[in-house]
Amino acid sequence: MSTTGLPPYDDANIFARILRGEIPCKRVAEDDHALAFHDINPQAPVHILVVPKGRWVSLADFAAGASDAEQGGFWRMVGAVARDAGLEASGYRILSNMGAEGGQEVPHFHVHVFGGRRLGRMVAAPAP
């Protein structure tokens, strides 16, 4: 286990494969530090994923281990993606799921950018 309590980084995860170009994506933006692409199963009219290029499972991993350049580049891309999608005036949400209770399906740290409709409450009710 890593110091975050999450499993070690899995190079076979789907975002690692997208970053290596093994699986296509609908790219929105890319630079040395991060890649942004449309979610394959959008939950809002705008649903973009922003992933750092490093091998980070969680925000704790990323914050502790990524260089200042990678962290700065990543967050700059999150802001630019929201702005370039035209969401500044209407508003939007960023969200990051971590671990089992956070509902993280892909174990490569990423941020979702949602917008284009009223997004409702912050956290859905628990499943019955």
Q: Does 57 bind ligand 5GP (CB under 6 A)?
A: no
Query: What are the two backbone dihedrals, phi and then psi, of residue 87, each rounded to the nearest 5 degrees?
Result: -95, -5
Residue with smaller CB distance to ligand 5GP, 79 or 102: 102
User: Which CB, 72 or 103, lies closer to ligand 5GP?
Assistant: 103
Would you call 110 a catalytic residue per the annotation? yes
Residue 62 binds ligand 5GP (CB under 6 A): no
Distance of closest approach, residue 54 Cβ to ligand 5GP, in angstroms: 17
Hey, what amino acid is at 66?
A: A
User: Is 7 one of the binding residues for ligand 5GP (CB under 6 A)?
Assistant: no
Contact 54, 76 (CB under 8 A): no
Q: How far is CA 94 from the centre of its chain?
A: 9
Q: CA–CA separation, 61 vs 8, rounded Å?
A: 10
The answer to whether 29 touches 80, Cβ cutoff 8 Å, is yes
User: Is 44 a binder of ligand 5GP (CB under 6 A)?
Assistant: no
Which residues here bind ligand 5GP, judged by CB under 6 A? 14, 23, 25, 37-41, 97, 103-106
